[in-house]
Structure 1
């Protein structure tokens, strides 16, 4: 069976940018956590959002994924203003996020987890009264996704029995089942060992071949190996942006962030 994740259908938007923020600002009781952030993420690239603790990267991520509402500014996805769009509606528009903590159904098998995700776009997620055989047509696509993330040997294993790294791989399969145009990842390497980091890094590269990936990450070496563009935040504002070579040699970045990573 050929391992591939088909290119998602959907709107292409205007220009090269799939998502763009304009003057994005978030205040909490007078404290400005994010200030006037203008972010542009190019289609079919891996874009990393990095910064020291308290830099505002998680707040920006939560604003982009609609878990927070901005105090001012706007968010545009595929050329459409989605600033006030509800989080649940963003998946239907092609933008899906993953969480820092693995979020799979531990009591279900790998196959069942992926099958549940496949049911959602079909509107049959809660048709529990139907015979199980009615779900068999989903198995072929589920098996394709399971193979694509390297979990075929664990197809019938309960997700709770998987290693943490394989749970993250399963998350990728369930996320891709939604056919997202853009995938937002919250520290995808957190808690992983060296072998699992390599596995997930490879998956991210494969995902970005025909999708866009925006990731929040504190691991500089991971960002260096993966990202086409890096945006560095500090104190809620953009400090620098560019490829790794440009960002890593920026004196302000080294002072504010890179030196702290190795401390």
Structure 2
């Protein structure tokens, strides 16, 4: 069977909460090896779509295909094991553990050592080289022995991306990766996303239009839970409906 051009496909994706349609008939195709951005005004349904795709919510109707397989009824943990891994808008690291220890814990799952905290220290030390490689990839090699809680916000988000990469995702979903960051941190994380996208597919929800314009191959604009338009940044920037619904508001 030939490999599909699209890693992820959503068909008629709908989520209803007590009569309110948070997402209504969304069709989405994420091309293999691309960076695809999901944007729209506040309340457009971006996070709900993300939660549906990663199975943190069950759709009211519609279906989701991952690498050609219907995963609509599959749980979030099983989806993650298939190589579809997400980060969250709020940084999710262990603040009292060092950066190295955070990455090392994430590395335990692919190696079969998952949650074996009672293992002898030398066994877990076997993961150090790979953990240090991942920290270097996100420019945190100088902070390997720093407690995660002491890292500045931007570097904490970089650590989260390192722990996500430790899970060896084929398809990486990033929820607001630059939210709340200073300009220099935004630049650093944007460069990191471009770097890690070289051998995987990325879908991101992002407010920062500069980041979207710089990184994205394809952009889907949501409005009131529905797809308004899709295309590259230049096409969307010149679309009157997008400018009215999104760019003119100053919000994503």
TM range (shorter): over 0.9
Tell me, yes or no, if the aligned pair for 1:149 and 1:203 is still in contact at 8 Å: yes
Specify the alignment match of 2:90 in structure 1.
101
Tell me, yes or no, if the aligned pair for 2:134 and 2:162 is still in contact at 8 Å: yes
Specify the alignment match of 2:120 in structure 1.
131
Specify the alignment match of 2:144 in structure 1.
155
Tell me, yes or no, if the aligned pair for 1:220 and 1:261 is still in contact at 8 Å: no
Q: What is the deviation of 1:122?
A: 2.5
Over aligned residues, Cα RMSD in angstroms? 1.4
Residue 233 (structure 1) aligned with residue 222 (structure 2): yes
Residue 68 (structure 1) aligned with residue 57 (structure 2): yes
Q: Deviations over 1:167-214 (max 9, x none)?
A: 011111101101000110111110100000000000100111111110
Residue 51 (structure 1) aligned with residue 40 (structure 2): yes
Specify the alignment match of 2:231 in structure 1.
242
SS at match of 2:114: coil
Tell me, yes or no, if the aligned pair for 1:23 and 1:73 is still in contact at 8 Å: yes
Return the alpha-carbon distance in structure 1 between the equivalents of residues 193 and 216 of structure 2.
10
Structure 2 runs not aligned, ≥5 long: none
SS at match of 2:49: helix
Q: TM-score, normalised to structure 1's length?
A: 0.93
Residue 14 (structure 1) aligned with residue 3 (structure 2): yes
Q: What is the deviation of 1:105?
A: 0.5
Q: Residue 30 of structure 1: which of 14, 19, 35 is its match?
A: 19
Q: What is the deviation of 1:260?
A: 0.3
Q: What is the deviation of 1:14?
A: 3.1
SS at match of 1:190: coil
Q: TM-score, normalised to structure 2's length?
A: 0.97
Q: Deviations over 1:28-71 (max 9, x none)?
A: 00111111111000111110000001111111111001111000
Change (3 A) 1:159 1:262: closer
Specify the alignment match of 2:178 in structure 1.
189
Return the alpha-carbon distance in structure 1 between the equivalents of residues 36 and 13 of structure 2.
18
Q: May I ask how many residue pairs the two structures share in their alignment? A: 252
Q: Residue 210 of structure 2: which of 213, 221, 228 is its match?
A: 221
Structure 1 runs not aligned, ≥5 long: 1-11
Return the alpha-carbon distance in structure 2 between the equivalents of residues 185 and 196 of structure 1.
16
Q: What is the deviation of 1:13?
A: 7.1
Q: Residue 241 of structure 2: which of 246, 249, 252 is its match?
A: 252
